[in-house]
Structure formats: C-alpha cells, structure tokens
Amino acid sequence: MSEPASHVAVKAPTPAQQIVAHKFGGSSLADASCFRRVAAILHAQPEFRQLVVVSAMHGTTNALIALAETAASGAPDWNTGWQALRDRHLAIVHDLLDARAHATLAWIEQGFAQLANLLGALAVLGTPNREAFESIQGLGEVWSARLLADFLAMQGVDCACLDAREVLVVNHGELGAAVDWSESGARFAEWRARHAQSWLIVTGFIARTRTGRATVLGRNGSDYSAAIFAALCDARELTLWGDTDGVLSADPRLVPDAIPLPSLSYDEACELAYFGAKVIHPQTLTPVIARGLPVRIRNTFHPEHPGTAIGEVAAVGAHSPPVKGISTARELAVVTLEGAGMIGVPGTAERTFGALHRAGVSVVMISQGSSEHSICCVVRDADVADAETALRRAFAAEITRGEIHSVGVARDISVLAAVGDGMAGTPGIAARLFGALARTGVNIRAIAQGASERNISVAVASADAPRALRAVHSAFWLSPQTLSIGLIGPGKVGAALLRQIQSARPRLLHDIQLDLRVRAVATSRRMWLGEAGAADGWNNAADMTCDLDAFARHVQAEHLPHAVIIDCSASDAVAQRYADWLGAGIHVVTPNKHAGAGPSARWRAIRAATAGGARFRYEATVGAGLPVISTLRDLLDTGDEMIAIDGILSGTLAWLFNRYDGTQAFSDLVREAHALGYTEPDPRDDLSGTDVARKLVIFAREAGVELDLADVAVESLVPESLRTHSAETFMDHLPQLDAAMAARHAHASRNGSVLRYVAHLDHVGTARVGLVELPSSHAFAHLRLTDNIVQFTTRRYRDNPLVVQGPGAGPEVTAAGVFADLLRVSAALGAKL
C-alpha cells in the first residue's frame, strides 16, 4: 500500500547535512559543452550537499523509442540508428574525459552491446514487448548519469551515482505511476548508508515495479523523479533546470511577449501546468506539495536569472496582477447532451460521467446551465467518438422517447484558461476576460469556473485560440496591447503618420504597454508586407504588386489579437472595402472622405458592419486634427439638438482668403499654397469646393440628416473653361481666376466685409458651400493662416454658439488627427490610455 510523501520514515538531517536537489533536462545535457555548463552551475552552488537528477541527453529517448519500434516491426535497418547513437555518446565521453575516458568508454560500450541484444530480440519476436520497450526507453538516463558522475569525479567531486531502479518502487494505476513511499524510503535509506558521498547523481524517468520489472514514469518523468528523490532525502529546495527563464505567463510560441513569472503558488502552478504550460507537469508537484518543499524553475543557459519560485503561497508585489498566466489546451472537442427531459431529473450528471468513465474518456472541462437543459463536456479530440457512442448508449431510451434531443459534437476546440490566486474575490476578472475575447471577435463555446475562483476556462474554436490567447494576455497587462497595423497611402499624410508612430512607439510601449506594430504599407501599385514595428525602410523593400486582399489577410494575423487598417489615400475604391474589413473584425481609421460622403447605401453598410465590434474612426475626415466630429457626437449624445452648423472646413481655402487682400494676384497665392504643400496635387480639388462639400455631408450624416453629395449646393472657384484640362494646363492658366476674384474682393471691401469660403448646414437639410461676404466683426473673419473653424448652433448653444478652431491643413496636423483616432481605438481595446 502506498503512503503519502509526508509519511516517509527517513531521519531528518541537520542543517549542516541538508541537501539541495537539482534536475537537469535533456536540453541541458545536449553535448559536451552542456555537461561542462551543468558542472559549473553545480560548483557555483553554495550548498555542500547536492542531489542531481538527470534526463537523457537531448533527443536520446526519442531515438531509443524509434530503434525499439523499428526492431519490433521487423525492419533490418535499426543498426544504423544504433550506431549513430553509440557514436554520439562515445564522442562526448572522449571530449569530456579525454585521457581518463578508458573505464567510462568500456562501460558505455557494454551498455550499447546490451541494447543491441535487446533490439535483436525484439526483431526476432517481431512484435512490441512492453517490458523490453520500457527497459530500452530508460537507458539514456543511465548513460547520462554515469557520464556526469564520472566527469564530476574527474574534477575532484566526492559523488556517487544511483540507478533509480535500485530504490524507486512504483505502481501503475489510472492516475499514472504512484510511488510506494514506504518501500522506496527504506531502500533509499539503505542505499545511502552504503553511499554517503556529499554529491549524488541519480537517473531520472526510470523506476521498478513491485515485481522487480524495469519501468518508466511517463511524460516529464525526470521532473517527477526529481520531486520524489527531493522528498526522500528531505531536501531543502528543488531546482528544475531547463531552457526557459522559469514558468512563462503564456506559451512563447503563441505569445512572443510572454514574461517569466517571479513566483507562483502550488495551486497556480498546477492549474497552468494542466492547461499546457510545458515547464512543469502537475504530477511533479505532488510529492513537494505534501512536504511544503519549495521548487524553483531556472534556465541552464541563463543561470544568473532567478527563475520562478513555486511554494505554498506566491510572493505578492505591489503590482502583482490578479491573473498570473494564460494557458491553452488544444486538440479537444465539445460533447453536449441536451434535452428538456433532463430538467429536474436527479442523476443525469452521474449517468453522463459514469458512461464516459466506463468508456475510458477523460473529461477536461464541464459546463452546465442552471436550467439543467444541457450538459457540456470538453474531451480529448481522440476520445470524441468513444464519448459520443457511450452517451448515446447510456441515454438510448431517453433519446428514443424524445426526452434527450441530441448528443452534439463540436471538434477543433481549444480551452483557454486564465489562472491566478489573485482572481479570488476580485470583481471584474471575468468581465475583462470576456471583453477581451469579444473585442477580438472570438466566440465562446463553453465556460467553466471553479469555486476557488483561481481559474476561468473557456472553450473556443482552435482557429481562434492564438488570437484569443494574445488578446487575453494583453488584457491583463501581462504583455503589451498589440495592434497589427496596415497603412494605405504613404503620401504626405501617410508618411507623416509613419514618422509620428515611429517616434511615439518606444514611449507608448514603455509607459502604457501599447505596441503599435506597422506590418504592411500599400500604394496604389505596390505594397510591403513585413513584421517591423514601424515599417522602417519599407520603401526600399522589394516590390510586390498591390493586392488589398492579401494586404488585409497579412494585417489580420492569427498570432496578433487586433488588426487596424489606416487609409490615408483619397481613393473611392479603397473606401468601397471598408464594410468588408469591418465585418471581418478589422478596425478602420481614415482621413479619406469617400466613405463618409460617398453613396448613402455604402455609408449604411459601413455603419452596420461595426455592429460586430470593429471600430470605424474618421475624425480627421472633417477637421484634420480638430475634434469636431467628436464634439458634435458629444452634443447629440447628451440630448442637445442641432440647429445649424457653419464652418470654414478647408485649411487651403482658409489660408488663401486669410492672405488675399487685393494687393497680390489670387493666382500667385494659389501657386504659393501649392508650393507649401497646403493644396492637393491638383489645386482644383480644393478650389472646386467638392472637398468642403464632402465634409459637410459627413457632418450631416453624423447629425442624423439624410444627405448625399448631390444635395449640396456647391460654388466652384474654378472657371468652367478650366475644369476638364490637365493639372499642368490648369496651373498654366491660373491667372484666369484673378479678374473675377479681384472684383469679388473689391465689392466686399466696399461693404466693410471680408471674403471667406463657408459651409452651412441646417437641421432641415439645407446644405451649401461657397464664397460669402462676412462682416469684419464675424468670428470667421479673424482666422490665422490655415485655421479651420466650426460653429455649432444648438438648442443649448443658440445665443452663443459653440466654436472649435485650430489648424486645419498640413500633413503633420492631419496625421496627428489620424494618430489620435488610432489611440482611441487602442483605448477601446483595453490600452491604459
């Protein structure tokens, strides 16, 4: 009968005799340089007495299993693999021991000869033999333990080497290998009485059954061995050395920003390990939990890092997050038993789980609604057929009578678990987790939370699992909130935006854990797809023909939680794609007016597409960097009523008429504005008034007024005779504007007025843009340079209209407005702005 670890009858050592236990995994023992590194780590430890458990050299166990399978299949070529494995071990012996290698070489040769005999016997049998397989699997640990012991002895260390099969007795049951603590303790005490060396090298992974048959401990068996022997020798601490800086907050293959956790409680470590954290296995912790033995996970290749400390209670810092880590278990399926006949019927759950137990199906997660209408189980995908058959058989009568409606199966499922002792009693944890999944467009299939509140688990489609993991990981501020960004239109505004993002990115990453990652840039003809944080040097990259479908697929990367496309073009064709992008969960930020002022049907489709949670931000379409759309929204959302909106909405036209005083030809001012970059490449885009009209349409739609561009009365400043020529021809004939403009200016001056190009909209939908005369006392008469100004006359601001004024032209200003919208999207996704 097995006893708990706490009942081991081994005399407790004095502090001077106390042992510290270590375990080194296969990656830590990959070659001769690794053995030297391990020895150096052990020599650097302050403890006098050390117990060291070792795995096989990296890749050895897999090679031994492959040899055994090849031999058992009757294939004649197992000798090639045997020879390669033998040569590898002999080469390391020569490298480490050099002139003193004779005895170790002879011992290794003997071990490989025995292996050859076993493989030959399997080949003769032509069938797998469990005892032979397990004997072969454990040989790697025997060889690596002897090699490390001989190398340490050569360095003058007083050490002994223990084949764990001499003392460790286990029984295999449903829960794996169970230690016979009484028998193992007695054998170990007897062995230590004969081997009192201060350092002890022990084989991991292998043991012996009560009948004396060699066996192995299964997955992560060397870690389990280390915990067992640490308990047997009453070690003060156990350190598991591997190739990571401790237990990470998530799988680094899925979350590159995963961070090492300074400390975990035993419970937290068990939860994370069960749901896929590869650093430690739950079974490893069983012996140490019973004794309260501290465990530390450290990196052989980075020994100066303190790693992760695991104990009864995790250390709590001032900024310790309630969630310590996020794990996923993959290759699962959901089996659902559903029916009205289950409601209020005792024993349904018992019958369900009893049927699964008899079928040998392990249940990973359970979920049942309070209505008792359904029971949902998550099982291994490999077991789903057995689970479905078992449930149909168990409830065959109820299915026939219609009391059970269905036994449903959903495959390709992953379970995501958020784990942390700090979750208990902390309001809002579930809300933050579910909100993060919703914002990234991940649907939840099932939910489970234990009464301890230490774990919230959700079942999601496996295709969504990487994105879900990253979203939740960043939602709890365990890693930066990452946005995958694609920029269309790297012209003046787009280029300025790239510079601004590049400049602000380090600060945002450091101060608020926001990672704005520009991963794609497209012009009308070509595009760049990459991984760079701010698209450094994209313009020098190899040309790729622009394909906006491929562009969007790259931006919406599976491994990143959030995707944003920023359209800084003036393309109607690009705006046509917004609804599809938003519907796919890609956020859109733009200064492109074609979406907001385009066909009404397209505008409605864009707005409808945001119902799924994707954000559409377009503040810069009207006021560049001015908060005019958000101001209008705030007024209307708080119950105010729009009476009229008036404004100077073109920085270019504002600059022209602020400067035009009749002393200089109007055409000269247009050329100057063009040279300064204030106008579009073709100044007629500004002078025609169409751009202002589009802004007015956007305002109208935001205010709830149904308006199309054709409904706006537009006064163009471009003569009819120059509207169809090329831009170059137009620039050559600019002086044709001068006479008419001089006459307009003279008339305004005689009336004590100024000329301003003004947009007007009222609540009934009257909309016009054009050149008007305003008294010199008017608010619009005293603007600076490229200032835009918007005047909101509302029910609350009827007598004293609300005015928003500021720069309204220039690439830097517009880019800043777009950047602000990008940050608003980031805040909505959980960034700590």
Position 408 pLDDT exceeds 60:
yes
pLDDT tens digits, 487-505: 999 998 999 999 999 999 9
Q: Which two tokens stand for residue 810?
A: 């220039």
Range of weakest confidence among 9-23, 90-104, 334-348, 607-621: 9-23
Instruction: Please give the pLDDT value at position 699.
Output: 94
Query: What is the residue whose two structure tokens read 């650093």?
Result: 279
- What are the DSSP E strand ranges found in 249-301? 263-265, 295-299
Instruction: Please give the pLDDT value at position 318.
Output: 43
- How far is the C-alpha of 289 from the C-alpha of 267, rounded, in Å? 9
Number of H helices, E strands in the chain: 30, 31
Can you tell me the mean pLDDT for 812-820? Answer: 92
The pLDDT confidence band at residue 103, using thresholds 50, 70 and 90, is very high
Give the chain's radius of gyration (CA, Å). 37
Looking at residue 477, its amino acid is W
Cα atoms in the 13 Å half-sphere on the side-chain side of 216 = 23
Q: How far is CA 134 from CA 57, 128, 745, in A?
A: 17, 11, 99
Range of weakest confidence among 332-336, 674-678, 812-816: 674-678
The domain defined by 481-622+819-828 folds into Rossmann fold (3.40.50)
- What are the DSSP E strand ranges found in 213-353? 214-216, 237-242, 263-265, 295-299, 308-311, 325-338
Residues written for the chain = 833
Instruction: Please give the pLDDT value at position 153.
Output: 95
Phi then psi dihedrals of residue 216, to 5 deg: -125, 160
Can you tell me the mean pLDDT for 641-653? Answer: 94
Helix (H, G, I), strand (E, B) or coil at 357: helix
Helix (H, G, I), strand (E, B) or coil at 629: helix
Q: 529 and 453 in contact (C-beta within 8 Å)?
A: no
Position 431 pLDDT exceeds 70:
yes
Query: What is the residue whose two structure tokens read 């909405």?
Result: 649
- How far is the C-alpha of 348 from the C-alpha of 340, rounded, in Å? 12
Q: 228 and 206 in contact (C-beta within 8 Å)?
A: no
pTM: 0.69
Residue 546 CB partners (closer than 8 Å, separation 6+):
522, 523, 524, 525, 526, 527
* Mean pLDDT score across all residues of the chain: 89
Eight-class DSSP state of 361: P
Can you tell me the mean pLDDT for 649-677? Answer: 92
Eight-class DSSP state of 91: H
pLDDT tens digits, 41-62: 999 998 789 999 999 999 999 9
Q: Which two tokens stand for residue 316?
A: 């709590």
Please give the span between the terminal C-alpha atoms of the chain, in angstroms, as a whole number.
Answer: 60
Higher pLDDT, 132 or 162: 162
In this prediction, what percent of the chain has a pLDDT beyond 90? 62
pLDDT tens digits, 611-626: 888 999 999 999 888 8
b/e map 239-263, b = 16+ CB within 10 Å: bbbbebbbbbbbbeebbebbbbbbb
Q: CATH: 2.40.50.140, 3.30.420.250, 3.30.70.270, 3.40.1160.10. Which one for 20-242?
A: 3.40.1160.10
Instruction: Please give the pLDDT value at position 346.
Output: 79
Kindly write down the DSSP assignment for every residue of 571-606, as one continuous string.
Answer: -HHHHTTHHHHHHTT-EEE---HHHHHS-HHHHHHH
Range of weakest confidence among 48-57, 125-134, 236-245, 441-450: 125-134
pLDDT tens digits, 76-87: 788 999 999 999
Can you tell me the mean pLDDT for 551-572? Answer: 91
In this prediction, what percent of the chain has a pLDDT beyond 70? 94
Burial classification of residue 672, based on how many CB atoms lie within 10 Å of its CB (0-12 exposed, 13-18 middle, 19 or more buried): middle
Can you tell me the mean pLDDT for 561-580? Answer: 95
pLDDT tens digits, 765-794: 999 999 999 999 998 998 888 889 999 999
Burial classification of residue 756, based on how many CB atoms lie within 10 Å of its CB (0-12 exposed, 13-18 middle, 19 or more buried): buried
Q: 164 and 207 in contact (C-beta within 8 Å)?
A: yes
Would you say the CATH fold of 325-464 matches that of 20-242? no
Instruction: Please give the pLDDT value at position 10.
Output: 39
Instruction: Please give the pLDDT value at position 94.
Output: 95
Can you tell me the mean pLDDT for 350-371? Answer: 86
Higher pLDDT, 98 or 85: 85
User: Domain spans of the chain?
Assistant: 20-242, 325-464, 481-622+819-828, 629-808
Taking every pair of Cα atoms in the chain, the longest distance, rounded to a whole number of angstroms, is 117
Phi then psi dihedrals of residue 260, to 5 deg: -70, 140
Q: How far is CA 63 from CA 33, 243, 259, 464, in A?
A: 21, 21, 33, 35
CB atoms within 10 A of CB 16: 7
Instruction: Please give the pLDDT value at position 107.
Output: 96
Phi then psi dihedrals of residue 578, to 5 deg: -55, -45
The pLDDT confidence band at residue 535, using thresholds 50, 70 and 90, is low
Instruction: Please give the pLDDT value at position 811.
Output: 86
Kindly write down the DSSP assignment for every residue of 8-66, as one continuous string.
Answer: ---PPPPTTT-EEEEEE-GGGGSSHHHHHHHHHHHHH-S-SEEEEEE-PSTTHHHHHHH
Eight-class DSSP state of 313: S
Position 369 pLDDT exceeds 80:
no
pLDDT tens digits, 588-643: 999 999 999 999 999 999 999 998 889 999 999 998 888 999 999 999 999 999 99
The domain defined by 629-808 folds into Dihydrodipicolinate Reductase; domain 2 (3.30.360)
Instruction: Please give the pLDDT value at position 276.
Output: 54
Q: 401 and 445 in contact (C-beta within 8 Å)?
A: no
CA dihedral defined by 381, 387, 389, 391, rounded to 10 degrees? -150
Can you tell me the mean pLDDT for 26-41? Answer: 96
The pLDDT confidence band at residue 221, using thresholds 50, 70 and 90, is confident
Q: Give which of 679, 661, 662 is closest to 670, Cα–Cα.
A: 679
Query: What is the β-pairing status of strands 325-338 and 406-419?
Result: antiparallel
Q: Give which of 564, 535, 568 is closest to 552, Cα–Cα.
A: 564
The pLDDT confidence band at residue 12, using thresholds 50, 70 and 90, is very low
Residue 130 CB partners (closer than 8 Å, separation 6+):
none
- How far is the C-alpha of 18 from the C-alpha of 256, rounded, in Å? 39
- What are the DSSP E strand ranges found in 420-557? 444-449, 455-461, 481-488, 514-522, 526-529, 544-545
Range of weakest confidence among 249-253, 350-354, 636-640: 249-253
Cα atoms in the 13 Å half-sphere on the side-chain side of 79 = 4
Q: 644 and 762 in contact (C-beta within 8 Å)?
A: yes
Eight-class DSSP state of 613: S
Range of weakest confidence among 27-41, 78-92, 238-252, 523-537: 523-537
Residue 236 CB partners (closer than 8 Å, separation 6+):
18, 19, 20, 47, 294
Position 444 pLDDT exceeds 90:
yes
Instruction: Please give the pLDDT value at position 1.
Output: 35
pLDDT tens digits, 373-401: 788 899 999 999 999 999 999 999 888 88
* Of 243-247, 260-264, 437-441, 738-742, highest mean pLDDT: 738-742
- Asked if the 325-464 domain carries CATH number 3.50.50.60, the reply is no
Residue 450 CB partners (closer than 8 Å, separation 6+):
none
Position 347 pLDDT exceeds 90:
no
Position 445 pLDDT exceeds 70:
yes
Query: What is the residue whose two structure tokens read 């939680």?
Result: 561
Residues labelled catalytic: 695
Position 537 pLDDT exceeds 80:
no
Q: Give which of 769, 617, 576, 790 is closest to 691, Cα–Cα.
A: 769
Instruction: Please give the pLDDT value at position 15.
Output: 47
Instruction: Please give the pLDDT value at position 586.
Output: 95
The pLDDT confidence band at residue 423, using thresholds 50, 70 and 90, is confident
Burial classification of residue 809, based on how many CB atoms lie within 10 Å of its CB (0-12 exposed, 13-18 middle, 19 or more buried): buried
The pLDDT confidence band at residue 290, using thresholds 50, 70 and 90, is confident
Q: What's the sign of the alpha-carbon dihedral 51, 57, 61, 64?
A: negative
Range of weakest confidence among 237-241, 476-480, 679-683, 740-744: 476-480
- What are the DSSP E strand ranges found in 475-597? 481-488, 514-522, 526-529, 544-545, 562-567, 587-589
